[in-house]
Amino acid sequence: MDQFPHPHEDGVVVDLRAPRERLRVNEHRLGGHPTVGDTRIPYDDVAALVATGEVRPEEVAEYYPGVTAEHARQAVDLAAQVDAGQGWVPLENAGRTA
């Protein structure tokens, strides 16, 4: 995962084109929503499957063939970052205030 120094505070800015080594963002795939590798499987679907604790990362391939345990771990990691408010904002929500 590439990270760049944040110019205004201590921290980093994640390269959102490749938010994790095995996760990708492609503007022509799912409207730019992060996916597992070069699939059309949304990272957050995989993260939600593992987050319940009922499915271990090693078992995700039973639900999503081709998704490895490492894909699943990275999806969970990105989901945690987004949930903590440190992630990306979907384009349709950009510029909106609560």
Asked whether residue 36 is assigned to any structural domain, the reply reads: yes
Asked whether residue 61 is assigned to any structural domain, the reply reads: yes
Asked whether residue 10 is assigned to any structural domain, the reply reads: yes
Asked whether residue 95 is assigned to any structural domain, the reply reads: no
Residues 6+ apart with CB under 8 A from 27: none
Asked whether residue 94 is assigned to any structural domain, the reply reads: no
Residues 6+ apart with CB under 8 A from 16: 25, 34, 88
Are 49 and 41 in contact by the 8 Å Cβ rule? The answer is no
Q: Specify the pTM.
A: 0.72
Asked whether residue 68 is assigned to any structural domain, the reply reads: yes
Residue pLDDT, tens place only, 12-55 = 566 777 889 999 999 999 999 999 998 999 999 999 999 889 89
**Cα angle value 67/72/77 (rounded, 5°):** 150
Residue pLDDT, tens place only, 63-88 = 999 999 999 999 999 888 888 775 55
Asked whether residue 64 is assigned to any structural domain, the reply reads: yes
Q: What is the 3-state secondary structure (H, E, C) of the chain?
A: CCEEECCCCCCEEECCCCCECCEECCCCCHHHCCEECCCCCEHHHHHHHHHCCCCCHHHHHHCCCCCCHHHHHHHHHHHHHHHCCCCCCCHHHCCCCC
